Homo-oligomer: A and B are copies of this chain.
Amino acid sequence: MSRELVILNKENSRQQRTKEKMLNLAMYILAKNPNASLNEIAEAAEVGRATLFRYFKSRKQLLHELVVEADKKLEKATRPIIEKKLSARDTLEEFIRVLVPLGASFHFLNSEQINSEDSGIADLYRNQLIRLRELSERLKAENVVAADVPLAWIAAVLDNLIYTAWITVSEGDIATNDAPGLVLRSFLTGLAPQSMNKTNPRGFS
């Protein structure tokens, strides 16, 4: 008769791919509209509603897995950067580069929509906030950001610029490759023309 009763993901099976597709599209849809119905998500992922429920026993669990997923992606993207022990300025630059394409995950984890109950999740959320705050502190300490700017403002602006970039790209209004440069530039020197002798901050053109 049949084998295992447990659904075991076998390396890179069909199940694995289906699940990933659902997670990806769910992230995409929910980042844009946090209260999208499971119907919309299933439709976007091109699977039946039943399949969604086969892999996630409830909306809550889907959300949970998305958060864990988002955390994993962000961790994987940012840890190598931190380990390079660059200057705050260079860390910022590399952070922006990797975070803009992860805008959905990033904003998703940063948004408060989720943290209600679910103790384990609150930690990931808190970690994320702490990371942002730490970077903000270093930027101030190393004089990359002016001393008189409140920490809360630095973190909030960074978060929002990254999310704005992601959404603007995903709606086709600006080019993917322009986005990180625009974020860095907006954040550090603003959008006014660099009238004086200011040199273009390195790297971004």
- Contact surface of A with B, Cβ cutoff 8 Å: 33-35, 113, 143-147, 149-150, 152-154, 156-157, 160-161, 163-164, 167-168, 173-174, 178, 182, 185-194, 196-197, 200
Contacts and interface: CB of A to CB of B under 8 A. Distances in A.
Interface residues of A: mostly helix, strand, loop or mixed? loop
13 contacts: A144-B192, A145-B193, A146-B192, A146-B193, A150-B178, A152-B173, A153-B174, A157-B161, A157-B164, A157-B191, A185-B190, A189-B189, A196-B197
A145 B192 contact: yes
A142 to B, nearest CB: 10
Given A144-B192, A154-B191, A193-B146, A164 B160 contact: yes
B182 A188 contact: no
A22 B190 CA distance: 39
A194 B146 contact: yes
A113 B57 CA distance: 28
Given A145-B193, A188-B191, A190-B188, A150 B174 contact: yes
Contact of A168 (B153, B187, B192): B153
Contact of A189 (B150, B160, B192): B192
6 nearest CB pairs, A to B:
A152-B173, A190-B190, A189-B190, A35-B35, A146-B193, A188-B192
Candidate in A145, A161, A196, A197 with the most chain B CB atoms within 10 angstroms: A161
Contacts of A143: 193, 200
Contact of A164 (B156, B167, B192): B156
B200 A190 contact: no
Contacts of A200: 143
